[in-house]
Structure 1
């Protein structure tokens, strides 16, 4: 299952990234993103329903607590933003602020209504996993609002968890939009650094690093689009990565040393940890950037 899921998720992520580079309007981008997610979800369901049998309870819990929500939360998140865009009222900043605050209040009601399960999810608890994330261990009527009406492919809480993950991301999106209005179009007002950090190595190396970090899920519990991370890091390190997706494609096509920059990082850190070189020396003495 792991190999299939990784390939399917990576393919979806790549398609979404390519879409963000080629689609002209935000509305078109999110509309197309919804369709891509729907296709991936259908492939995932078909694989689990017809080609795979869970090895044990732990395997079933892993799928419904981790794997399935990865795909479904993206789908719900894109629907949320698409609806936000097409329903956005005409008018000035104050009208838009009211609209965003109404959406934020609605999200707060959702989290308050699901407070117990939300706390369970955020705390990383596992003691109720067999009840929440295995099939047949729940009352369908009690969970009707968050049940997919497919007992073979659903548990009592996998869809609810997907909604929570999606709504957390949507909440971040709304707060960012609100900050843009407050700060006259800028996402946030940051103090000017006396000594700003500038990326001086190969740009492809930075792309490799960012994709590695996102793949490991180190940002927002793994629930973030690569484009948002790219935009943030380009701003922080004052670097223009251009068509970063094409750089990533070039990385995947390497015949040797596919993770060359990550290998260099590991080598440099190990040498520093072993005190085999002077820590005051320039890194270029030990790492040859392409």
Structure 2
């Protein structure tokens, strides 16, 4: 772990996070790796905070208002992503309701904490010392109940609440994108593809292409089902691939030589085109 705590900030945290996000793993694996990564960072923070003394109250406020909440927010966000995927209905028609239920819960959180959210969104600072410092004597009525079970050296009354606000904003945007993706998929399914294109190569060639795209996880972050992808291609290119494309894929795997014959042909054709254009 090369992330270090220096000058009241985490050095290389965002860089290491981006390396995980840009990896070839699917959405679930990325979320798991990020959770493990951030939990390790928070362990480092715990050890650091137990012994660190901020030079000024402003530095302490900056840490608990700007730095720590943004790290914890990402942990909350990716744990919520895993929960969403784990509880996602198999029936695609029920997925929008599944996502909308979570949006309702987020909106309820917003309503419950609207005054604090208003304080944050307006960039107010008059309560910062109360919310984001660890002064020994505070108004007990303003303390978040979670603080009771935590070491007072590690948190303030509102830094975790701020992390939740940040996380749920990210989550709401993520869910809205998911709902849009489902609605667009439904639009395609409902014969809204206006195309005169016909697939004139072999059916098995298209099946080879479909499997390659599915295994590359290029649709819906790898969550799209092979049958759904097949249905879209059938509609787009006006071709019936039959009910058992799995049987056709077994035939592809059983080829003695050149198993990815069509994909190899596509690559060779494109490379020839590129070479000709360069000459």
So what's the TM-score if we normalise by structure 1?
Answer: 0.58
CA contact (8 A) 2:9 2:63 kept: no
Match in the other structure for 1:99 = 98
Segment drifting more, 37-46 vs 107-116: 37-46
Aligned to 2:21: 20
For residue 146 of structure 1, report the CA deviation from its aligned partner: 6.4
Say whether the 8 Å CA contact 1:61–1:130 is kept in structure 2: yes
Q: Which residue of 1 aligns with 2:74?
A: 74
TM superposition score normalised by structure 2: 0.60
Q: Match of 1:173? A: 174
Matched, 1:158 2:162: no
Tell me the distance in 1 between the aligned counterparts of 2:34 and 2:145. Answer: 27
Structure 1 consecutive aligned stretches of length 4 or more whose deviation exceeds 6 Å: none
- Structure 2: state its 5+ residue gaps: 188-279
Question: Are 2:64 and 1:60 aligned?
Answer: no
Hey, what's the Cα distance between the residues in 2 that align with 1:130 and 1:6?
A: 22
CA shift digits 1:80-112 (9 cap, x unpaired): 1111111111102x3000000000000000010
Within-5 A mapping of 1:137-156: 137-139=138-140, 143-145=144-146, 149-156=150-157
Structure 1 Cα separation of the partners of residues 88 and 148 of structure 2: 29
Gaps of 5+ in 1: 187-290
For the 8 Å contact 1:77–1:167, the answer to whether it is kept is yes
1:5 is aligned to 2:9 = yes
CA RMSD of aligned residues (A): 2.2
**Structure 1 residues 80 and 129: CA distance shift in structure 2, 3 A:** same
Superimposed CA distance per residue, residues 65-88 of structure 1 (whole angstroms, 9 cap, x where no aligned partner): 111112111111111111111111
Is structure 2 residue 125 aligned with structure 1 residue 126? yes
1:233 paired residue number: none
